[in-house]
Each structure stands twice: as C-alpha cells, then as structure tokens.
C-alpha cells in the first residue's frame, strides 16, 4: 500500500527542505542514540547533508548538547578553528517545531569560555551585555523519550486547559486532538490551580525536564491564552500558546528582555510583557482582565458546551451574569442547554479504569449490533493518561463496508442499555462504495449505574482511512500538528480523513474528491511520512 518511500530507510530528502544548504556534524556525546537518529533523519529529510567528520571543511553547522560534550568528543581538535556555527540541538527542535529555521543567535555555543562548564544549573545572568556568550547548556543527562520534552504527568485537561499539573506546572496546551486549547477556565480567580496536584514521583523514564525557571511568565501567558480565546481572539491566544513552550524550555531564568529578544514566537508584545513581569512580578494587562466582570463572565459562559465567544457575549449583553441566569434564557439551543444542565458533570474527569470499563462495554455492545466491528477508545485514554476529560471512540469494520449504517443502530442500542443519555450532534456521511464519509456522534453518556454525565464522541471510519482517524483522535494535538506540517513539507495534506497529494496552490482551496492514499495501520502512515514510530502512550508530546 504505502508507496515506495516507506520502504526506503530514509524518506526522500527534500532539496527544498528548510535545512537545505546546511552541512552538519552531529556531536553525539551526551545524546541518546535513538534521538540522534531521529535528528539525523529529520535533517536529511529536510534537505541537510550530514557529515560524519567534524572537521570537514564543508561543515556549516555543528550540533551539540553543550560545549562540554563537544570538548569531550573532539578534545584537542577543538583548538582548531571552527568555521562552522556551533548550535544547541534545541535549535533543531525549535526549527522542526516551527517548520522553519529559527534564528540562530540564542542557540549558539561559544567555545573558549570554559567558565560555567560543569554545573547544570544555569549561571547567573547578571550582566546582560555579556550575555551573548553565555552558553545555555541544556539539561543534564537528557534521557529523552523519543520526541520531546515534557509529557508524563497524570493528565491535563484535554480539550480544555485546566492547568498546572504536577511536576511541570506549566499551563495549558494539552492534549487531545487537532486543536489547541479549547475552553477557558483558569480565569476564575479563586480556584483554578490547586486541584490534582498529584506529584507523580519522578519516574526514571521521564524525559528530561527542563528546569521550569520561568513559571512566573508562562503562568501568566497561560491565563492570557484562555482569556483571549474566550473573547474570540484566537490568533492572539494562539500566539501566547506558541510562546509558552519556547520560554518554558529555557535553561535559565529570564532576567532581562535581551535574553529573549531573538527567540522564535517572541515578538515585540511578548517582550514588553516579559519585561514587565521580570521587573514588577506581574502583568497589569492580566490583572485588568482578571478584575473585569465582563471578561470573567464571558469566560465562564464560554465554558458551557455549545457556547462560544459570540454567544457568551450576547448572553452577557442580555444581562446574564452567572450560570443560573442562563437557565432562564430561552434562546439557548438544545445542546447549549444540555451543556449548562450538565456543566459540572461534563467538567468532571473520568478515572482511567472507568473509561476502560466503558470501552469494554462499548466494544461488547458494538459486537451485538455488528459482529467483527472494531471499537477503540482514543484520546487521552489511549495515550495512557490517568484520567480523561471525555471519551473519543473510533470505530471501523475490517470488511470495509459494513460500517455503513452502523452508527444509528449502535446509538440506538446504546440508548436502549441506558449508556447514551443525551444527544448533542449526529451526522451521517458514509456512502456505499467509497472510502469517504465519516459518521460521527457527540453526546452524553453515563457510567453504568450512575447519573453523572460524560462527554462522548463516536466516530465511524471506513476501513481505508481508519488509521488517519485513529491518529487524529489519539493525538495529542502537538503530534497531530507536527505530522500535518511534516506531510505538508512533503507535498501532502494530512487530516483525520486521509493523506492527499497536495493540490498545490493552483486550484482553489477545496481539494474536492481526491481520494486519500491507502494505509492499513497507523505505523504505515508514520513510516510513509518518515516520522519515528510512537506508541500511543508516547504521544504526549
């Protein structure tokens, strides 16, 4: 199925890739082999040439984990003059994340200043002027799991941002599928943070944990994400969302704007904010928002399923100030009303073992309706989280056709056994004789014997595009975005219904009837794209 590329050890390198023109040497000291391989592969894919000999004249860039590793690796040879720029691997990471080369300034490693060579805590950054030759040495023995930094931790709110989780109490971006943080939440001044402070014992298998030295900043930015989103300013919200991981990974505590002025995703505004935060300890803009009755109310309303920024504003203008007020409003849609009625229920997270039981129940019920049908609970459950905000059920049938018409029957059956309780959205798209059409159902369900409502999504995929559905609905959103960008870089468009040859800019936007390439498993898709395989539980990027 999978075209040639998947058979090659390396996917075709792209001369137009973002790294084209670079000749790189990778210093392997202090780097896990697997990680090195991934980096090498990425570089090649994206157009770079990997040189095995560090001192080759051609080398334009050398990557290392820090200056010490380079010293260890090359020893005295270091004395020879490098023509190449020496960069932290983090530059690579950031560039891959952004899908483009980021500025090199803040990632360069300077040789010849052997001070602060061996402690891992970052040095003092008292003198800003001199800061250009600070080597930001990264985390110590990085023991990275495949892709990237943080993850772990019991779980964070899926589609919404609950916040601080255990070990790395950074905020929000979380997990689920293909959209960055969704609902607001942390604006409510009082509560918000404390819950689920389960400090998971630092597990040896944890990836390296960037010292979270700039929480003062990321916490504030996290709140702004929610606020702007609630206000409907997704662009702005997303900007803060992108800035957080960049700041979070810095190995030093920011004490001056100069230290962040060249970082990706940190522009003028962010710098101003950072400046204010590091000098005054707070951000007046946020304080203003948080004390603003209107902002707070709209944020709250927006947490109701089915109510977005526009409706929240409308309700506010109608004079409503709390959730009880809303209950007497007759302009709410049915879904919004359910979202309101079960507001607290829906916010309640579901323990993993209960999700597991419900998954079994769903599998069994599905088998009753259509033997051989395949039912998997995706989302954060599949990624191994300890609790889940909702359930994403991905369904298919191996015969490639009997999935058609299954969903309505299934839903009815689930209602008969009192598992599904209320409907939110129901849409049918499956068609005979095609691999198109995903049937979906959004609703509320209950754990057997209880009344507490949980959000559940059922999605039925034709066999041929099932792997895409599974990938998309397993997430997390960061992984999905990376895959999508990777696909784009190779001239494809990836979404939850397939992988399509890019209808290169020429035509309009609607890709129309192009059919997806066919794959039989998630792994085939990863392979085709040249993305290192990740087990579901490794996808908490």
Q: Residues interacting with DNA, by CB under 7 A?
A: 100, 159, 176-179, 182, 232, 235-236, 238-240, 243, 263-271, 285, 302, 304-312, 333-335, 339, 390, 392, 425-429, 442, 455, 457, 473, 495-496, 509-511
Burial (CB count within 10 angstroms: exposed 0-12, middle 13-18, buried 19+), residue 510: exposed
Rg (CA), the chain: 25
- Active-site choice (273, 320, 403, 454): 273
Size of the chain in residues? 541
Collapsing DSSP to helix, strand or coil, 364 comes out as helix
In the complex, least distance from residue 398 CB atom to DNA, rounded to whole angstroms: 24
Phi first, then psi: give them for residue 326, nearest 5 degrees.
-60, -30
Nearest CB to DNA, comparing residues 135 and 311: 311
Of 53 and 330, the one with the shorter C-beta distance to DNA is 330
Compare residues 38 and 304 and give the one whose CB is closer to DNA.
304
3-class DSSP string for 465-487:
HHHHHHHHHHCCHHHHHHHHHHH
Nearest to 186 by CA among 227, 155, 235, 231: 227
Q: Where are the alpha helices (DSSP H) in 434-539?
A: 466-474, 477-489, 522-529
Residue 274 Cβ vs DNA, minimum distance, rounded to whole Å = 9
Distance in Å, CB of 172 to DNA, minimum: 15
Active site residue 273: yes
Which of 82/426 has CB closer to DNA?
426
CB of 81 to DNA, least distance (A): 30
Q: In terms of Cα–Cα distance, which of 199, 215, 165, 214 is closest to 389?
A: 165
Smallest distance from DNA to CB 178, Å = 4
Shortest separation between residue 494's beta carbon and DNA, angstroms: 10
Q: How far is CA 302 from the centre of its chain?
A: 22
Sign of CA dihedral 520, 473, 146, 483: positive
Residue 426 or 447 having the CB closest to DNA: 426
Shortest distance in whole angstroms from residue 268 CB to DNA: 4
- The token pair at 256 is 């001056």
Taking the least distance from each CB to DNA, the nearer of 211 and 302 is: 302
Tally helices (H) and strands (E) across the chain: 18, 13
How many Cβ atoms are within 10 Å of 327's Cβ, its own excluded?
Answer: 12
CB 376 within 8 A of CB 393: yes
Nearer to DNA, 145 or 335 (CB): 335
Q: Taking the C-alpha atoms of 230, 234, 239 and 243 in order, what is their torsion angle to the nearest 10 degrees?
A: 50
Q: State whether residue 377 is helix, strand or coil.
A: strand
Using CA atoms, how far apart are residues 393 and 459, in angstroms rounded to an integer?
6
Nearest alpha carbon to residue 384 among 529, 249, 208, 205: 205
**Residues acting as catalytic residues:** 273
């Amino acid at each position: 199925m999978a075209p040639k590329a998947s058979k090659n050890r390396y996917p075709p390198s792209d001369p137009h890739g973002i790294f084209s023109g670079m000749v790189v040497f990778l210093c392997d000291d202090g780097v896990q082999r697997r990680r090195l391989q991934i980096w090498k592969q990425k570089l090649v894919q994206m157009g770079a040439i990997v040189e095995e000999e560090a001192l080759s004249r051609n080398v334009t860039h050398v990557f290392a984990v820090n200056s010490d590793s380079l010293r260890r690796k090359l020893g005295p040879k270091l004395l020879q003059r490098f023509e190449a720029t020496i960069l932290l691997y983090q530059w690579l990471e950031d560039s891959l994340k952004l899908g483009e080369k980021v500025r090199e300034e803040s990632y360069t490693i300077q040789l010849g200043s052997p001070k602060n060579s061996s402690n891992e805590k970052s040095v003092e950054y008292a003198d800003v002027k001199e800061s250009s030759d600070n080597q930001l040495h990264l985390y110590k023995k990085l023991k990275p799991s495949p892709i990237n930094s943080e993850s772990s931790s019991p779980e964070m709110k899926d589609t919404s941002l609950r916040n601080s989780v255990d070990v790395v109490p950074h905020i929000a971006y979380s997990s689920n599928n293909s959209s960055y943080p969704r609902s607001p939440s942390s604006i409510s001044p009082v509560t918000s943070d404390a819950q689920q402070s389960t400090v998971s014992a630092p597990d040896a298998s944890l990836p390296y944990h960037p010292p979270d030295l700039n929480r003062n900043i990321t916490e504030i930015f996290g709140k702004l994400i929610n606020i702007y989103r609630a206000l409907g300013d997704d662009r702005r919200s997303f900007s803060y969302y992108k800035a957080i991981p960049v700041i979070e990974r810095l190995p030093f505590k920011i004490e001056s704007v100069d230290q962040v002025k060249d970082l990706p995703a940190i522009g003028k505004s962010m710098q101003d904010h950072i400046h204010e935060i590091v000098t005054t300890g707070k951000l007046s803009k946020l304080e203003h928002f948080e004390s603003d009755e209107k902002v707070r109310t709209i944020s709250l309303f927006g947490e109701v399923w089915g109510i977005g920024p526009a409706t929240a504003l409308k309700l506010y203008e109608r004079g409503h100030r709390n959730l009880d007020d809303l209950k007497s409003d007759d302009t709410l849609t049915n879904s919004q009303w359910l979202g309101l009625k079960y507001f607290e229920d829906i916010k309640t997270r579901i323990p993993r073992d209960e999700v597991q039981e419900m998954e079994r129940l769903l599998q069994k019920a599905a088998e009753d309706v259509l033997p051989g049908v395949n039912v998997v609970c995706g989302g954060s459950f599949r990624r191994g989280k300890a609790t889940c905000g909702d359930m994403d059920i991905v369904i298919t049938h191996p015969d490639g056709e009997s999935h058609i018409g299954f969903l309505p029957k299934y839903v009815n059956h689930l209602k008969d056994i009192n598992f599904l309780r209320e409907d939110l959205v129901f849409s049918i798209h499956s068609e005979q004789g095609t691999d198109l059409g995903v049937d979906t159902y959004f609703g509320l369900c209950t754990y057997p014997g209880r009344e507490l409502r949980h959000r559940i999504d059922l999605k039925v995929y034709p066999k041929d595009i099932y792997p895409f559905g599974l990938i998309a609905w397993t997430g997390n959103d960061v992984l999905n975005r990376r895959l999508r960008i990777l696909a784009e870089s190779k001239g494809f468009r990836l979404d939850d219904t397939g992988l399509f040859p890019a209808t290169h800019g020429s035509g309009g936007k609607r890709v129309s009837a192009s059919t997806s390439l066919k794959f039989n498993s998630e792994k085939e898709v990863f392979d085709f794209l040249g993305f290192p395989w990740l087990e579901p539980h490794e996808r908490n990027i």
